Amino acid sequence: MSVHANGSKPATPARFEEAAQHVAELKDENAHLQHAVHAHAVIDQAIGVLVAVGRLTPDQNWDVLREISQHTNIKLRHVSELIIDGARTGNLCTDVRTELERQLATHARPPRS
């Protein structure tokens, strides 16, 4: 195989196919990263809602969200969306509301010495 004066390999069908595969992988990775950024923003917004409502620290509210997700078997991102929507509308499904109240009460307890 010959090499151009600038050190690059000549364009061949195999090189084009390799480049197209690499572009497809980069597009897929970009889509995943965009989804992760969106999910992270939604979770951060829900933590903000809970900071205002529950008067806990952001770290404590992260634990509250995680526990709600685990106990209701609802994905963390979706729990966050429900809490944000509930803050806006005043409506929150019963299972999430019940678990939220339980978790806020649990985390609001002063630590034992």
Q: What is the pLDDT of residues 38-73, one digit of tens each?
A: 788 999 999 999 999 888 999 999 999 999 999 999
User: In whole angstroms, what is the distance from residue 75 CA to residue 84 CA?
Assistant: 14
Using the predicted structure, report yes or no on whether residue 7 has a pLDDT greater than 90: no
In this model, does residue 77 exceed pLDDT 70? yes
* Pairwise pLDDT comparison (100 vs 9), residue with the higher score: 100
Tell me the whole-structure pTM to 2 decimals. Answer: 0.69
Q: Is 5 inside any structural domain?
A: no
> Burial level of 82, CB count in 10 A (0-12/13-18/19+)?
buried
| Domain extent at residue 88 | 13-108
In-domain check, residue 113: no
Class of residue 100 by CB neighbours under 10 A (exposed 0-12, middle 13-18, buried 19+) = buried
Residue 109 has pLDDT above 70, yes or no: no
Q: Does residue 13 surpass a pLDDT of 70?
A: yes
Q: Rg of the chain over CA atoms, in angstroms? A: 24
Task: Please name the residues in contact with 45: beta carbons below 8 A apart, sequence gap of 6 or more.
Answer: 80, 84
Q: With a cut of 60, say whether residue 36 has pLDDT above it.
A: yes
CB 81 within 8 A of CB 49: no
Does residue 85 form part of some domain? Answer: yes
Residue 102, domain member (yes or no): yes
The mean of the pLDDT values for the chain is: 87
How many domains would you assign to the chain? 1
Residue 1 belongs to some domain of the structure: no
